[in-house]
Amino acid sequence: MKKKTVKRKTVAKGKTVVKRKMAAKRKVKVIRGASAKRKVKGLGKKTTKSRSLKLKKKVKSRRTVRRVRAVPSEPQEQLHEGNTRVIVYIPFNNLNVRETLPAAVSALTLPEANTQFTEAWINKRVDVFMNFTLKSLLNQTNPHYLAYIVYHDSSRAYIDNALLAYPPLPPNIRFISSSEYEAEVIRQLEGYKYWYELHLYSDDMYHKAYIDMLYNYRPRPETKVLICQNGYIYNSVSDILAQYFNFSSSFNCLIYKVSDYVNGVRHNIFQPSETGIWTGAIQLEHEIMPYPVYINHGHDANTAFFFAQEVQNNAMQNVWTNNAGYYSLFGDIIYDPYMKQRILEDFLGSPAPVPAYTTV
């Protein structure tokens, strides 16, 4: 009897334990259910979102703002080879060189009147052009340009005869008379929206990357001319290379819309004054090109530029930055032979040759 009683007590005890566990589970479910209900009720009042979702929305909002700011209200068409024509205007002997000089130039150094029309002068200048200016043009990293060397109409026979001594010029570079230049330019502008008239004398040089710089430069809409103030001065006879500054140099580039030019719009930079004919450029809406991209070339056949006078009158150090109030400055001479050769190669593609003729 005792054994049966014990068994019944054990069974009863086991049932009690099971009942307690089940009750505890039900209690947990009730608590969780109540918690879930409270969360559901809270959703109606205030929506809760995960931190990652909030951050994602915030970043998206910022990106949207940035996109709106990046889009200009009036987008401007970009200049490129497809819509812009670059023509290098190279006066050979079509300008009155006396008018191009500053009033301060001594009468003793002025060239004899009409020297540039003589056969001897033309032969020398063609030789200088072939050995320096032409090499500078051929050395350009961007070949999308035309170059016209403009001569006085009366010199045609001398020019044609002088060119017979040299290999034919490439099709984008040619000698042309002054009377033909305007019509030829307008013909070449057909199909383009903008054009740059880049000025270069027939004995000077531009850096090999300059035409590429022009295509990549973004001038202001109102700008009419780009002016190069900083460059180099080089005497090919004495082989002296130095830094140089000119506040309104002949190394400038006129900017036109083709439609304006065809309809007669012209930017007049040829304004004779006490500082020289080219200084009219800086009186126009202009921008200064920040790089030393030209070489002003001194040799023994100059008629509008005198190396010795530049050295004597305008010598100064750090002329690319220390130039306030000056018209032109002769700067630091490049004495390091390796640096000088590297600079000349940037303009000519090879070290500059010394002309065969001697000083006269």
pLDDT along the chain (360 residues), means of 10: 46 53 58 54 49 50 46 54 91 75 54 83 95 97 97 97 98 97 97 96 96 95 95 92 91 96 91 67 92 90 59 76 88 94 94 45
Residue 155 lies in a domain: yes
Residue 159 carries which side chain, given as an amino acid letter?
I
Residue 201 lies in a domain: yes
Predicted structure pTM score? 0.72
Residue 223: give the domain boundaries.
Answer: 84-228+247-296
What is the per-residue pLDDT for 357? 43
Cβ atoms within 10 Å of 286's Cβ, excluding its own = 22
What is the per-residue pLDDT for 80? 63
Sign of the dihedral defined by the CA atoms of residues 101, 107, 109, 111, in that order: positive
What is the per-residue pLDDT for 64? 45
CB 167 within 8 A of CB 134: no
Strand order in the sheet with 252-257: 173-177, 146-151, 84-91, 194-199, 252-257, 225-228, 286-289
**CA proximity to 344, closest of 212, 226, 265, 235:** 235
Looking at the chain, which runs of residues are DSSP E strands?
84-91, 146-151, 173-177, 194-199, 205-206, 225-228, 230-235, 240-246, 252-257, 286-289, 294-298, 328-333
**CA proximity to 87, closest of 196, 207, 214:** 196
Residue 32 lies in a domain: no
d(CA 307, CA 134): 21
Q: In the chain, how many domains are there?
A: 1
d(CA 127, CA 165): 9
Sort strands 328-333 and 240-246 into parallel, antiparallel or unpaired.
antiparallel
What is the per-residue pLDDT for 360? 30
Residue 31 lies in a domain: no
What is the per-residue pLDDT for 358? 38
Angle at 300 between CA 228 and CA 199, to 5 degrees: 25
Residue 105 lies in a domain: yes
d(CA 291, CA 183): 33
What is the per-residue pLDDT for 268? 87
Residue 321 lies in a domain: no
Residue 130 lies in a domain: yes
Residue 355 lies in a domain: no
What is the per-residue pLDDT for 153? 96
What is the per-residue pLDDT for 102? 57
CATH code of the domain covering residue 91: 3.90.550
Sort strands 205-206 and 294-298 into parallel, antiparallel or unpaired.
antiparallel
d(CA 131, CA 165): 13
**CA proximity to 240, closest of 199, 179, 297, 196:** 297
What is the per-residue pLDDT for 14? 52
Which residues make Cβ contacts (< 8 Å) with residue 339, sequence separation at least 6? none
